[in-house]
Structure 1
């Protein structure tokens, strides 16, 4: 393979080339979303699209998709190349490679990547890749989330390790036949996979068009300029931090109903080490892997993305630095240490499919450590998510639906926490009620912000949502969640947030049944109703310093009770639902 050396290039040409590359990823993303069959891609946008150069560096990504899908794409490519080298295989024009190995760059098994090598004048110049979450991957029970009782990687579903589903343009029909025979909703899942391939082919075509227009050496040079500029921005941001070590701990529920102490109250330890323009994120002290339960996280594909995205969000806030595409230059100054055999770097075949909530704790704990040096750039503790797999059978066919029940952010300096949003490194969207009810035998009975439950602070914590869903037919559901025991942390005098919960009201029963945060597949009957309540984020700052008018607004909106306004904020609200400023000042002074 001929190596093209980068040349000096003017900044205007750099921006033109980079703008063209970004547009490719955006086009790939829009078309994948439009072509997809499932709501998890079409509505929640749980997918990623990116171009990767021959050195494995990410050039661009689809900006409206989740970072947890686009971010790992260089790892997918690295894993694919590693496996192909071990097999003494090579890339050809017309190849399409399917890959989902969590121990070779993929985030977890359901996030299947399709990689197409890009050739220009018979030379391999890069890769066009799409990833997406698939609703069934042939695991032990329906759905591709909530497989929380998987004992190893083999129990989590089909494993694709750099499999050529097209070779030199020829479709391998036997692979596709195997897929259809081993997936519960084959039309849905295979349709989504074909949409991914079509979007990746668009990326190949557009990338070649850019090379033909500007020249390969110009594209390489512009890309290298981007990497260097991004690296410089990150190094400059790190340089502003005082040298030293900053540590924090966070905890996962794990399996609260387990009798095994090694499966619950799981610790994530983070130490941030700053030295000049270099940063090391050391996860030493994190609890050992849970060998037979899937809360472990792949180091490459989950842990690294949680770290990179959190650092970028905190140190390079887009309101200050503007929008720029994620690329490999941003991660050059950052080193990650994760001892092998721990939750953050498990050894095969430890299961990893339920790594979603665990990764949020890594990001949240990293933010807690950074709060010691950049207190105005972090939020208080973040409420985690609940991911539910609904399923059932109609005639001889399965239906599968995945719902992401959002969490919430903690308060931030100068701003209240964001209510009921997906958190940190995931950034998926909620699914409209109309879409749910028009496609599945489910009815959303209730969907609203929780009443009277937000963490007090000068800037209050974000409010979690509450959702009740009834089954209109017999079926089943499973849940992977966290944050039912450990409430999000308050910061700088702010109070801790609230925990989430899960319960089921069985038809005819007088009382609901409380369920743990991680629930294997559970059979339900027509008329059964589940209730999910999301955690509330932590408060930021002394609540007695909150603007009394904002406290009144929270009361009028139903976010707090009148007695809580007095108790937590020292704000007196009279019978006319107005602030008594004189008595409020007296109350606050007496408590001060």
Structure 2
């Protein structure tokens, strides 16, 4: 355990410098957001920035996506291991290898070691999801890939791309020759490097202002403070072992029952430790749903932090109170090469977040969360083709048009803008108008679906539905959806969220329901229609404040039928402008529903 009794601890200076470092990360974030070229980065904000110490401990991440940043230290460790004594001022490394610390091949990470007076004191980390990485199909989510070779991606295990601040052009030429949209990729490449270099500059200025020894003392104090906050949070929990399970959807004949998942959480408040055991999960599967070690770690740790005091800092200090038990060759553990981890950042990872955070609801009222909505379906598909407006130039982009619904919690309804469990509401939703400007795509509608959030004392957020198709040339559409068979679960009496569904609509209006994993071509006058999942509900719906139910019906989050049949709320009148709650009829209806459920 870190020593927290140092005489030189200065809480004011620790707070000042920690906020300054968060400010540096936000400047990195703004640089990448403003400078990147692909929509998945500058529109959806599918990227994260963080800073690690020179000895490879996560120091800070500000607003980084949980799935991205909780494994940053694994990548900086890989950089140090591969570079060894050659690591030098002016270096920058590109890393996307899921077998040496990265999430999946689709996330390109830029690592810049920061030297202060010749000492490697920090590493700046900028990670961005790519529109294309040279896969065999125009997507970075290869659900059907048997192994990493079948994916076809260019893999960079901490490869040096700058030396003495000069570009290694050989790497650039390799990527340009393989990636379908080389100019778009190169813009993102420069933006990622620029974000990391901004951090390098600002960290040097910070050290010049306060002195290297003061900054070293801050790092020591910040980790000690963070660990102490985590100790306090764990000691507020009971001594208990929680076990929870779930499953990823089936995938054709390959995974007819899906992927069963299980986690055991041992909470020891006396030792102030939480142990997560994932060893009782199946072996690696022959497709792209295997978790990398970084994603297994990040998703389960995310689930823990979602259930604890939200003010506990997320860094090495607090992580040190969590123990992970993983198994080699496991679908939710450490993968065995060359199994594909192409979809590691979403599907199974989303399930692990949900399983862990909902397990804490077993502690009693006020603990844990329901399962959040999921589903990388039509609203999050990768679309590609030829743009008739630009001399049939190639385009590739991942859409983030439709969000899944957030989970109900002990004190609030689910967020509409939740996105996915692994992103926790930190990504942006695409602008319809900008997507149509950037790509030859016509978006027919984007809307919330009434009555699709899991009912509860605090309900899950509703599902979102979208429909779109190409304007002229055929468009390839690829998605690796989950949640079409096993929807997000409610907890403590809350209802499940709405499951995902998708259709291809022909030029004649005929609809064909699509499987959860889709690789299809859409022609002019055809379109796809589909929805993400709604979030699970928390608590008994009959305990929901009737005024909230009235508001939900007026705002069209809920239907009149569900208000009566599930929530037991009866209204006077049917006009939204004059509708009110019939309190006597509501009391009778709720008593009737309670008797029926007994």
CA shift for structure 1 position 180: 0.4
Count of aligned residue pairs for this structure pair: 570
Given that 1:379 and 1:417 are in contact with CA atoms closer than 8 Å, whether structure 2 keeps it comes out as: no
> Quick check: 1:581 aligned with 2:583?
yes
Structure 2 equivalent of residue 3 of structure 1? none
- Describe the shift of the 1:442–1:286 C-alpha distance in structure 2 as closer, same or farther (beyond 3 A): same
For residues 80-99 of structure 1, the aligned pairs below 5 Å read 80-85=79-84, 90-99=86-95
Q: Distance in 2 between matches of 1:114 and 1:7?
A: 38
Structure 2 equivalent of residue 372 of structure 1? 362
For residues 502-517 of structure 1, the aligned pairs below 5 Å read 502-508=502-508, 510-517=509-516
CA shift for structure 1 position 102: 0.5
Q: Distance in 2 between matches of 1:55 and 1:196?
A: 22
Q: Describe the SS at the equivalent of 1:103.
A: coil
Given that 1:56 and 1:77 are in contact with CA atoms closer than 8 Å, whether structure 2 keeps it comes out as: yes
Q: Distance in 1 between matches of 2:546 and 2:339?
A: 52
CA shift for structure 1 position 465: 0.5
Unaligned 5+ runs, structure 1: 1-5
Q: Distance in 2 between matches of 1:60 and 1:500?
A: 35
Given that 1:21 and 1:59 are in contact with CA atoms closer than 8 Å, whether structure 2 keeps it comes out as: no
> Quick check: 1:127 aligned with 2:127?
no
Q: Distance in 2 between matches of 1:415 and 1:513?
A: 37
Task: Choose 23-32 or 420-429, whichever is displaced more.
Answer: 420-429
TM-score with structure 2 setting the length: 0.91
Q: Describe the SS at the equivalent of 1:489.
A: coil
Structure 2 equivalent of residue 477 of structure 1? 477
Q: Describe the SS at the equivalent of 2:452.
A: coil
Given that 1:7 and 1:221 are in contact with CA atoms closer than 8 Å, whether structure 2 keeps it comes out as: no
Structure 2 equivalent of residue 429 of structure 1? 428
For residues 219-368 of structure 1, the aligned pairs below 5 Å read 219-255=215-251, 258-260=252-254, 262=255, 264-275=257-268, 276=270, 277-290=272-285, 292-299=286-293, 301-318=294-311, 324=313, 326-345=314-333, 346-355=335-344, 356-368=346-358
Q: Distance in 1 between matches of 2:572 and 2:371?
A: 32
Structure 1 equivalent of residue 537 of structure 2? 539
Structure 2 equivalent of residue 181 of structure 1? 177
Task: Choose 372-381 or 242-251, whichever is displaced more.
Answer: 372-381
Given that 1:65 and 1:428 are in contact with CA atoms closer than 8 Å, whether structure 2 keeps it comes out as: no
| Deviations, residues 306-325 of structure 1 (Å, cap 9, x unaligned) | 1222222321224xx6xx5x
Unaligned 5+ runs, structure 2: 1-5
| Deviations, residues 146-183 of structure 1 (Å, cap 9, x unaligned) | x2111211232110012111123332212111110000
CA shift for structure 1 position 425: 2.6
- Describe the shift of the 1:264–1:167 C-alpha distance in structure 2 as closer, same or farther (beyond 3 A): farther
Q: Describe the SS at the equivalent of 1:165.
A: strand
CA shift for structure 1 position 263: 5.5
Given that 1:420 and 1:464 are in contact with CA atoms closer than 8 Å, whether structure 2 keeps it comes out as: no
| Deviations, residues 109-129 of structure 1 (Å, cap 9, x unaligned) | 011111111122223222122
Q: Distance in 1 between matches of 2:568 and 2:545?
A: 11
Structure 1 equivalent of residue 415 of structure 2? 418
- Describe the shift of the 1:564–1:235 C-alpha distance in structure 2 as closer, same or farther (beyond 3 A): same
- Describe the shift of the 1:54–1:559 C-alpha distance in structure 2 as closer, same or farther (beyond 3 A): closer
Q: Describe the SS at the equivalent of 1:184.
A: coil
Cα RMSD after superposing both structures: 1.9
For residues 557-568 of structure 1, the aligned pairs below 5 Å read 557-568=555-566
- Describe the shift of the 1:209–1:525 C-alpha distance in structure 2 as closer, same or farther (beyond 3 A): same
> Quick check: 1:149 aligned with 2:151?
no
- Describe the shift of the 1:9–1:527 C-alpha distance in structure 2 as closer, same or farther (beyond 3 A): same
Given that 1:46 and 1:65 are in contact with CA atoms closer than 8 Å, whether structure 2 keeps it comes out as: no
Q: Describe the SS at the equivalent of 1:354.
A: coil
- Describe the shift of the 1:13–1:472 C-alpha distance in structure 2 as closer, same or farther (beyond 3 A): same
> Quick check: 1:399 aligned with 2:389?
no
Q: Distance in 2 between matches of 1:420 and 1:162?
A: 34
Structure 2 equivalent of residue 71 of structure 1? 70
Given that 2:448 and 2:464 are in contact with CA atoms closer than 8 Å, whether structure 1 keeps it comes out as: yes
Q: Describe the SS at the equivalent of 2:381.
A: strand
- Describe the shift of the 1:570–1:12 C-alpha distance in structure 2 as closer, same or farther (beyond 3 A): closer
Q: Describe the SS at the equivalent of 1:280.
A: strand
Q: Describe the SS at the equivalent of 2:571.
A: coil
Q: Distance in 1 between matches of 2:386 and 2:24?
A: 39
- Describe the shift of the 1:565–1:78 C-alpha distance in structure 2 as closer, same or farther (beyond 3 A): same
Q: Distance in 1 between matches of 2:9 and 2:541?
A: 54
Q: Distance in 2 between matches of 1:84 and 1:584?
A: 69
CA shift for structure 1 position 477: 0.8
Q: Describe the SS at the equivalent of 1:305.
A: helix
TM-score with structure 1 setting the length: 0.92
Structure 1 equivalent of residue 53 of structure 2? 53
| Deviations, residues 206-264 of structure 1 (Å, cap 9, x unaligned) | 11111122121111110110001111111111112122211000110041xx123x464
Q: Distance in 1 between matches of 2:392 and 2:407?
A: 46
Q: Distance in 2 between matches of 1:251 and 1:545?
A: 29
